[in-house]
Amino acid sequence: MMKSYDKISIGEERENTQVCEPIAEYCRATRPHFRQLPLFEMGEAETARGDIRVVELFAGVGGFRIGLERASARYKTVWNNQWEPSTKKQDASIVYCRRFGTTGHSNEDIATVPTEAIPACDLLVGGFPCQDYSVATTLKHSGGIEGKKGVLWWQIYRIIHESRQKPRYLFFENVDRLLKSPATQRGRDFALILASLCDLGYVAEWRVINAAEYGMPQRRRRTYILAYRNDTGIARAAQDALPWVLTDGTLATAFQVLAKDKAKSFSIDGALDEISVRFNTGKAKCEFENAGIAIGRQVTTVSTVSDYDGVRVTLGQLLLPEKDVPEPFFITEDDLPKWRYLKGGKQETRVSQNGYEYKYSEGSMAFPDAPDKPSRTIITGEGGSGPSRFKHVVRTESGRYRRLTPVELERLNMFPDGHTEGVTDSRRAFLMGNALVTGVVEKIGTVLLHNIDTME
């Protein structure tokens, strides 16, 4: 089942194997305990009593693993799966194995992995790809996932459903628009996710968290979902829905909020295939606010704003000294006008492929990016030297303009320096565009462990 990577060089233990100082300082200031992790940690995860056995799906380069293992040595990733369908070369998997070893790693399409091949765990985690989650036919019959095969949410569903011992806790991450998609049936996909988690026997809470609103170096807004099996102490503690969402819950403790509006409550009714067809048809407004909880398909949701007044890390603090930046990252004088044009605001007439003229307009982007603020969201196209509207550009001390290096992109996601070494620079950027801000997982992981210790 597991593929081995005999040819991967593991690399030497190096000196700069940890997160850079501004990030370490942020972590020390915002958390009671902070662990620097060595860059290469090999070997089988040996679990002891009190450890939380973690299975990491859609592992990418291990953002969940880094965050959780930094939160506590009691989080032990016992198995992980990562497979990139769009390329032959499996860069994320290569990086993951260089970093954590090949033991317990699976580089296969998760749809082809039988549930029995996945070890039992206490916590199942994953940043599953954002897709259309609708199901064509009923999911009711045993093990029968009749939804579209490539739709990966239903692989998570299948694994939980078929597990002989369901994980006590689940922890997922997705883009913020998950709450609103698809455009024709706002909130349908999220309703399907919440309904299926409730049907599987979980209480599920969620929050949209922008890492920069809590002092982290990147404006990256993502939906985080935590679910607790109904027979756990945390699920019982969460029954008082609104206080849990606003003050007492795992997410509210890790990332404090204030209510912006009144909470609303509704239930998600019908079989999953009915929700697929009927949920919110024709209504423009999304049902789900940026915080909430579903208990037995009863949803309580409320619009919140962050309540944070602590240390903040900026893009400028994470930049390498100019002398350490390789020449290809600098923008040549010849290319500068193209960058300026793409970043600039425009109102122009364009011609479509089939010959129609149309008016095109867009606002301007910051150029260069401000060093005294957190960065914008890193996207998968951040790498490569071609001019782009969305890639970050900074101005150096000498007045030159340059793109961000792979190490700087790692820092913006709070990964250790050099984490993605071993693949090309543009793939390193792609991997960081897919990854998450590990500091968010770390804080949630810290509070989750506390709740496990005190509520179970």
Ligand X SMILES: C[S@@+](CC[C@H](N)C(=O)[O-])C[C@H]1O[C@@H](n2cnc3c(N)ncnc32)[C@H](O)[C@@H]1O
Q: Helices 438-455 and 21-30: crossing angle, nearest 10°?
A: 30
Query: Min. distance of Cβ 231 from ligand X in angstroms?
Result: 28
Q: Which residues pair with 169 in a beta bridge?
A: 123, 228
Shortest-Cβ-distance residue relative to ligand X: 60
Closer of 186 and 220 to ligand X (Cβ): 220
Closer of 233 and 433 to ligand X (Cβ): 433
Residues that bind ligand X (CB under 6 A): 58, 60-64, 81-85, 92, 109-111, 127, 129, 152, 434-436
CA triple 81-83-89, angle to 5 deg: 135
Query: Min. distance of Cβ 111 from ligand X in angstroms?
Result: 6
Closer of 289 and 408 to ligand X (Cβ): 408
Closer of 343 and 443 to ligand X (Cβ): 443
Closer of 222 and 402 to ligand X (Cβ): 222
**How many whole angstroms separate alpha carbon 292 and alpha carbon 205?**
6
Virtual torsion, Cα 173, 176, 177, 180, nearest 10 deg: 90
**How many whole angstroms separate alpha carbon 14 and alpha carbon 19?**
13
Are 301 and 207 a contacting pair, CB within 8 Å? no
Task: Considering the candidates 121, 130, 198, 286, report the single residue annotated as catalytic.
Answer: 130
286 among known catalytic residues: no
Query: Min. distance of Cβ 431 from ligand X in angstroms?
Result: 6
**How many whole angstroms separate alpha carbon 217 and alpha carbon 211?**
7
Query: Min. distance of Cβ 413 from ligand X in angstroms?
Result: 8
**How many whole angstroms separate alpha carbon 41 and alpha carbon 65?**
12
Are 293 and 205 a contacting pair, CB within 8 Å? yes
Query: Min. distance of Cβ 134 from ligand X in angstroms?
Result: 18
Give how far Cα 282 sits from Cα of 27, 237, 273, 285, Å. 45, 36, 18, 9
Q: Which two tokens stand for residue 436?
A: 């998450």
Active site residues: 130
